[in-house]
Amino acid sequence: MGNQSERAEFDFDQYSRRVTEGPCFVCAFLAGDPDYRHHLVYEDDDSIAFLARYPTLLGYCLVAPKRHLESWVHDMEQREFLHFQGVVHRVARAIAATLPTERMYSMSLGSQQGNAHLHWHLAPLPPGVPYHQQQFHAVMAENGVLPVDDTSQAALAERIRRRTQA
C-alpha cells in the first residue's frame, strides 16, 4: 500500500453507474454479495462499520444502520439517532487510536439518486497534510484515491476492530 500522498485515478463514471444502477451497497454487503464485500471494523445488532472501498485517506470508514434507512432526520427517532451517533463516535475513536489523526472528518453523504442507505463517513486526516489538501479536497475521490490492496486493508480493519472492542 502506498503512502497518503500517492493517489490513483478514480473512475467516477463507473462508480456513478454502480451506485445508481446497482443494489443498495450496504444491504448487498449485509446479504453477503461478493461484489459488495468490505472490510468490517465494527458490528452490533443495529449498526455496521467498514473500510471504504475507495479511500481518500487511510482508515476512511463508513458507519451505517443495518436497517435500510435513508434519512436520519425523518427515519430515526432522537433516541435511535443518539445511539447510532454513539457508534459513530466509538468507531471514530478506534480509528484515531489506530492511525495518527489530526482531525476526524464526519459527514453523512448519499442521496435518493445513489447511495441512499443512510451512512456516516469517517475520514481521519493525518498530521502534516498541507492546508490546501485538507477538508473537502481530502475526501473527494475526484482528487484521487489511495492505491490500497486487499491484504493491507484487511490488516488495518482488524487493527481498528480490536480498538472498537476496547
Helix, strand or coil for residue 163?
helix
Which CATH homologous superfamily contains domain 12-164? Answer: HIT-like (3.30.428.10)
Q: Domain extents for the chain?
A: 12-164
Report how far residue 1's alpha carbon sits from residue 129's, in angstroms, rounded to the nearest whole number: 18
Q: Which residue has the cell 489530526?
A: 102
Helix, strand or coil for residue 133?
helix
Q: What is the pLDDT of residue 4?
A: 61
Q: What is the pLDDT of residue 164?
A: 96
Q: How would you write the pLDDT of the chain (166 residues) with one tens digit per residue? A: 445 668 899 988 998 898 888 899 999 999 999 999 999 999 999 999 999 999 999 999 999 999 999 999 999 999 999 999 999 999 999 999 999 999 999 999 988 888 999 999 999 999 999 999 999 999 999 999 999 999 999 999 999 999 999 7
Q: What is the pLDDT of residue 114?
A: 84
11: left (phi over 0), alpha (psi -120 to 50) or beta: beta
